[in-house]
């Protein structure tokens, strides 16, 4: 597949994280002539926090990770692409156990502290013997960040990574993140795997709290197609090797938010067939939750998204999406702006609205839609993309 036109022009150089070593392999789980397995080893006393899909048909790996998360400790991570190990019954659970046991043997650790993740086709038995056979021979390095990001891709057209530094008590700490995601993207969370690594020493309870909030403002605020995956996994691993002592975590929290927000936008920009990034801000709502529901109603509307793909400023479809959201909105106070130009307000088209004024904006790559629903003071912002024929082409041939 050709690389998305919204792909970043350059990718950041991720520096080593003390206490993290990575390795990749090509196991041909589904894909030929590419890597499809990533393993990560963590130093002793690494803590972990995580959030997962809310799907009622969650994968075997998700269930295992939820259980493993209770200890707050991590020794290793094993991720495969090409097969999600979802809806595979007891066979899926047994596959996870074999993978964890093999990783525990390689890393000389407790299998309960091995985290796994899988992404790809749903409903097919995972050929875990390919993974367990490859594990012993995979070499590890502190510098394999780009290779790691590529190994977890499925329909992604480019690898996704981000990095930031922060200060805790006068000590500089680093946060590196990699992600995969392209289609089946919608809260909660999105069809995505995201792994964040830091050398900071963070109490696991605080790490979990910060992660949940950062996730709400990033991955839970994006959508490509309105479909929630069985496999969504977001994990943060903190090795504590930076040497910081407990202190003010506000700068770390800022950096964590920035890394997650960066990766979330990269996922939307790689939406299957995407040609445009769309930012939708809803204000004047009764509550933040109501604003988000309305914004998601707009963002997930096929009619809105196909109009955007055609550069058609059909704001009537936005009115429709607001009305169907089921949240309070005052029809006669509704105000809609596209690219900063008011197109409708006070219950009708703006008297001086001239569609030619926003045509240049509509044909661009970065579309801004602002909607004030006129009932309160709360707001929310979500991110989506247009819906092109390429989405059908990609998903219609996904298994072939």
Catalytic positions are 191
Rounded CA gap, 338 and 355, in Å?
10
Estimate the crossing angle of helix 288-299 against helix 302-309, to 10 degrees.
60
Closest C-alpha to 25, from 176, 137, 146: 137
Compute φ and ψ for 258, nearest 5 degrees: -65, -40
> To which residue do tokens 């429709």 refer?
320
Distance in angstroms (rounded) separating the CA atoms of residues 109 and 396:
42
Extract the tokens encoding 367: 């579309």
The tokens 């090795």 sit on which residue?
239
Helix (H, G, I), strand (E, B) or coil at 27: coil
Rounded distance between C-alpha atoms, residue 182 and residue 156, angstroms: 5
Max distance between CA atoms of the chain, in angstroms, equals 72
Of 266, 50, 38, nearest to 162 (Cα)? 266
CA distance 164 to 177: 9
Strand segments, DSSP code E, in the chain are 20-25, 37-42, 47-52, 76-83, 114-121, 160-168, 171-180, 193-198, 233-238, 277-285, 335-338, 341-345, 348-349, 366-372, 378-385
Strand 378-385 relative to strand 171-180, pairing? unpaired
């Amino acid at each position: 597949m050709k690389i998305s036109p919204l792909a970043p022009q350059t990718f950041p150089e991720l520096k080593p994280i003390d206490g993290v070593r990575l390795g990749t392999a090509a196991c041909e789980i589904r894909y030929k002539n590419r890597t499809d397995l990533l393993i990560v080893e963590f130093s002793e006393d690494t803590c972990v926090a995580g959030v997962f899909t809310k799907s009622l048909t969650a994968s075997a790996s998700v269930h295992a990770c939820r259980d493993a998360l209770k200890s707050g400790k991590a020794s290793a991570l094993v991720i495969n692409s090409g097969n999600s190990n979802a809806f595979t019954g007891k066979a899926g659970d047994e596959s996870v156990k074999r993978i964890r046991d093999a990783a525990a043997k390689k890393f000389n650790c407790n299998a309960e502290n091995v985290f796994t993740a899988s992404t790809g086709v749903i409903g097919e038995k995972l050929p875990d013997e390919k993974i367990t056979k490859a594990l012993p021979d995979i070499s590890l390095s502190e510098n394999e960040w780009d290779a790691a990001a590529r190994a977890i891709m499925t329909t992604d057209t480019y690898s996704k990574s981000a990095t930031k530094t922060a200060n805790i008590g006068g000590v500089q700490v680093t946060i590196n993140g990699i992600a995969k995601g392209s289609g089946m993207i919608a809260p909660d969370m999105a069809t995505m795997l995201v792994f964040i690594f830091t050398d900071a020493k963070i109490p696991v309870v605080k790490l979990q709290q910060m992660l949940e909030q950062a996730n709400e403002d990033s991955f839970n605020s994006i959508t490509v197609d309105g479909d929630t995956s069985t496999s969504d996994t977001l994990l943060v691993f903190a090795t504590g090797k930076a040497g910081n002592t407990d202190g003010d975590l506000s700068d770390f929290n800022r950096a964590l938010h920035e890394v997650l927000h960066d990766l979330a936008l990269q996922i939307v920009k790689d939406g299957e067939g995407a040609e445009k990034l769309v930012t939708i801000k809803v204000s004047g709502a009764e509550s933040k939750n109501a604003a988000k529901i309305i914004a998601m109603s707009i963002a997930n509307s096929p009619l809105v998204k196909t109009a955007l793909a055609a550069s058609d400023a059909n704001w009537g479809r936005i009115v429709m999406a607001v009305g169907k959201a089921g949240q309070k909105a005052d029809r006669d106070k509704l105000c809609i702006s596209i690219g900063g130009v008011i197109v409708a307000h006070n219950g009708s088209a703006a008297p001086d609205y001239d569609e030619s004024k926003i045509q240049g904006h509509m044909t661009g790559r970065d579309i801004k839609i602002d909607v004030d629903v006129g009932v309160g003071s709360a707001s929310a912002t979500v991110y989506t993309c247009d819906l092109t024929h390429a989405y059908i082409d990609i998903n219609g041939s996904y298994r072939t």
